[in-house]
Amino acid sequence: MRALSLMRCAPLFLAACLGLSPVRAGEPVVIVHPDSGVQSLTRDEVINLFMGRQKRLPSGRVAAPVEQAEPPATRARFYQLLVGKDLPDIHAYWARLLYSGQAQPPRQAASAEEVLEFVAANKGAIGVMDGARVDRRVRVVLDLGK
């Protein structure tokens, strides 16, 4: 019985030792480069960055938002949790902004690994991806699954 409870705690202990925060698989998280100057973000700041209302990170760096496009469920879950909208509504929102020339939508990455690589290589990048795929190359600044 005692060994079983130790087995359940082992993944959390390992995550804590590696400096990773435990997140639920499939839940979206917002990540930045560790040297971006950003330690955490509020929900409103993330909304403004991913909806094209804010062009800079709180640290002053020009923001380069990137989304995990595949699988689409991760992106859909992100916008549902963030602003309560489904993907067709988000596409319509960006179509209006693009037509008026006001803003550009976030960059689309084909996979979680592509999001990680982009954010790890760019100090102004801010990404959204499946939290289960996060590694030490980036910092989680908002976990929408909590």
> 24-143 maps to which CATH number?
3.40.190.10
Nearest-10 crossing angle of helices 87-100, 72-83:
80
With left for phi above 0 and alpha for psi between -120 and 50, is residue 65 left, alpha or beta? beta
Locate the domains of the chain by residue range: 24-143
Q: Name the token pair of 50.
A: 């991913």
Answer yes or no: are the C-beta atoms of 115 and 78 closer than 8 Å.
no
Residue 109 Cα distances to 12, 37, 39, 49, 54, angstroms:
29, 23, 23, 17, 21
Q: Which residues of the chain have pLDDT under 50?
A: 1-23
The sign one gets for the Cα dihedral 40, 105, 76, 81 is positive
pTM confidence score? 0.81
